[in-house]
């Protein structure tokens, strides 16, 4: 169990993987100057040592925050994923320690959708192959197997923020949009939800994946699924590398079944730009292989930097958990001269009653109380007169089921 109550100058932010400078500026404007910056993801042992003294950590998709890393992060209050995906974070390990995890759910959505559309156009025109040949001195002027995007069928797997944005842009270019999702979704424009993955695969000229990394999406596109796609179809994956069986994809390209593929994410990605990229897809001219840059635009990174840094600063200042992915969401006003106690606990019967008994038995006047729970944890925030906060904090920390307490001055 941990307790914190620190001055801003002592609160340390560890920002990894070249998070945009807008994050540092946003933190500075909120009064947080104690920021350690790294341009790369750190290897596990270095990460454990750097995170040991950090109260907040900011990562992108490369850093793996495992149970072991959290075990080393004794002071950690919150994680900021400066990206959409949170699969690189062991959320259960964070939650059981009362560590809030934030992300930027849509700051790079448009960037991914634009890249996918561009790739669909290039692959339908055979540009990847012709470009590779031209670099080798070969002139391949031909209209054979070169198609307009207009009128083609786009099959989107995962109709969330990116899938929907992609569908809207594709439709504006004259594509017919259909999607498969495990949840019933409101189709935008003329898009149409289809009931099964196989149906989507069988009737799409271009298939694009926009699902999160989960157990259910692991290798969701393998040999069997590729076999459902029409000859000459195109596969695009800018979601997560675990979603497509790369060997099966390589085999279908070798057989000439698919006309091409654009892959931005890989089962194993180099940890830094200095490491070699190894993939069976390197041999195919008709693939566009990009180094996980779907969200890597200046616009997206700048916005993400501001958005996530602001969420971390707000959580530090007020306890607000809006848009946390693993904590009950509570929007909190400023607490003025009151002291604010934050209490994260296992969501089991009796905790709230024990907390409120503390206030009544000790005649502590509470000026505001906010409570929100999810299946695992409860998060209660209590504003009270400054003179009572030490006593209340001590007693709250002793309540059965307490995970973490914090006081804000
Ligand atoms: N290449 C990049 O740089 C890049 C950038 C941003 C996001 N991403 C990846 O893209 C993913 C999607 O992003 P988003 O913002 O659209 O997420 P989102 O949460 O808004 O949408 C995901 C959609 O997938 C659906 N889904 C989940 N499991 C499914 C399954 N088994 N079958 C079918 N549908 C399923 C969900 O219902 C949801 O509609 C992210 O999780 C992230 O991993 C990659
Ligand atoms: O989840 C995401 O937003 C993308 O995969 C981008 O990750 P990155 O910030 O590491 O480029």
Tens digits of per-residue pLDDT, 196-237?
A: 999 999 999 999 999 999 999 999 999 999 999 999 999 999
Catalytic residue among 20, 55, 240, 343: 240
CA-CA-CA-CA dihedral for 181, 184, 188, 189, to nearest 10: 100
- Tokens for 57, please give them: 């950590």
Residue in the block written with tokens 């070969």: 138
108-289 and 330-408: identical CATH topology:
no
Q: Is 269 a catalytic residue?
A: yes
Closest CA relative to residue 300, chosen from 29, 39, 22: 22
- Any idea which ligand is nearest the CA of 271? 2
**Residue 268: other Cβ atoms inside 10 A:** 11
Mutate to test the pocket of ligand 2, among 23, 294, 301 (most ligand atoms within 8 A of CB): 294
- C-alpha 160 to ligand 1 mean position (Å): 6
What is the per-residue pLDDT across 269-326, written as a single tens digit (0 to 9) for each? 998 899 999 999 999 999 999 999 999 999 999 999 999 999 999 999 999 999 999 9
The domain ranges of the chain are: 10-103+297-327, 108-289, 330-408
**Residue 379: other Cβ atoms inside 10 A:** 25
Any ligand 1 atom below 6 A from CB of 177: no
Any ligand 1 atom below 6 A from CB of 216: yes
ipTM surpassing 0.95: yes
Indicate the pLDDT class of residue 338, thresholds 50, 70 and 90: confident
Catalytic residue among 68, 269, 271, 346: 269
- Any idea which ligand is nearest the CA of 212? 1
Decide yes or no: CATH 3.30.70.3270 for domain 10-103+297-327.
no
What average pLDDT does the segment 140-149 reach? 98
Fold of 330-408: Alpha-Beta Plaits (3.30.70)
Catalytic residue among 20, 97, 110, 292: 292
Position 11 pLDDT exceeds 70: yes
376, 95 contact by CB (below 8 A) = yes
219, 197 contact by CB (below 8 A) = no
Alpha-helical segments (H) within 286-362? 298-318, 351-361
Position 1 pLDDT exceeds 70: no
Helical (H) or strand (E) element with 67: helix 67-72
Decide yes or no: CATH 3.40.50.720 for domain 108-289.
yes
Any ligand 2 atom below 6 A from CB of 295: yes
Task: Give Cα separations from 213 to 84, 203, 218 (angstroms).
Answer: 11, 24, 7
């Amino acid at each position: 169990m941990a307790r914190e109550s620190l001055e801003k100058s002592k609160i340390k932010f560890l920002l990894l993987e070249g998070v945009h400078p807008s994050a540092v500026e946003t933190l500075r404007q909120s009064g947080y100057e104690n920021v350690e910056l790294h341009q790369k993801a750190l290897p596990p042992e270095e990460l454990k040592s750097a995170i040991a003294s950090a109260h907040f950590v900011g990562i992108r998709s490369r850093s793996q925050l495992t149970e072991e890393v959290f075990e080393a992060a004794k002071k950690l209050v919150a994680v900021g994923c400066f990206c959409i995906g949170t699969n690189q974070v062991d959320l259960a390990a964070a939650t059981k320690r009362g560590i809030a995890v934030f992300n930027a759910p849509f700051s790079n959505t448009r960037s991914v959708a634009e890249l996918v559309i561009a790739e669909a156009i290039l692959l339908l025109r055979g540009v990847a192959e012709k470009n590779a040949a031209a670099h080798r001195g070969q002139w391949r002027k031909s209209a054979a197997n070169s198609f307009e995007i207009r009128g083609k069928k786009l099959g989107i797997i995962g109709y969330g923020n990116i899938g929907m944005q992609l569908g809207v842009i594709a439709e504006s270019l004259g594509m017919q949009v259909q999607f498969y999702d495990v949840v019933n979704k409101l189709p935008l424009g003329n898009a149409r939800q289809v009931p099964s993955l196989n149906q989507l695969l069988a009737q799409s000229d271009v298939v694009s994946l926009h699902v999160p990394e989960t157990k259910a999406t692991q290798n969701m596109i393998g040999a069997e699924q590729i076999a459902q796609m029409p000859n000459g179809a195109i596969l695009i994956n800018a979601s997560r590398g675990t979603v497509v069986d790369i060997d099966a994809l390589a085999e279908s390209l070798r057989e000439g079944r698919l006309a091409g593929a654009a892959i931005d994410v890989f089962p194993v990605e180099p940890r830094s730009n200095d490491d070699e990229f190894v993939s069976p897809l390197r041999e195919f001219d008709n693939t566009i292989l990009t180094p996980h840059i779907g969200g890597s635009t200046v616009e997206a990174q700048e916005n993400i930097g501001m958005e996530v840094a602001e969420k971390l600063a707000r959580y530090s200042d007020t306890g607000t958990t809006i848009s946390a992915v693993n904590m009950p969401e509570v929007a909190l006003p400023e607490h003025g001269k009151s002291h604010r106690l934050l209490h994260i606990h296992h969501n089991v019967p009796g905790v709230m009653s024990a907390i409120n008994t503390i206030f009544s038995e000790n005649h502590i006047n509470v000026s505001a109380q906010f409570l929100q729970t999810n299946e695992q944890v409860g998060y209660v925030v209590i504003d009270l007169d400054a003179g009572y906060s030490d006593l209340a904090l001590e007693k709250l920390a002793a309540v059965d089921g307490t995970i973490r307490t914090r006081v804000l001055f």
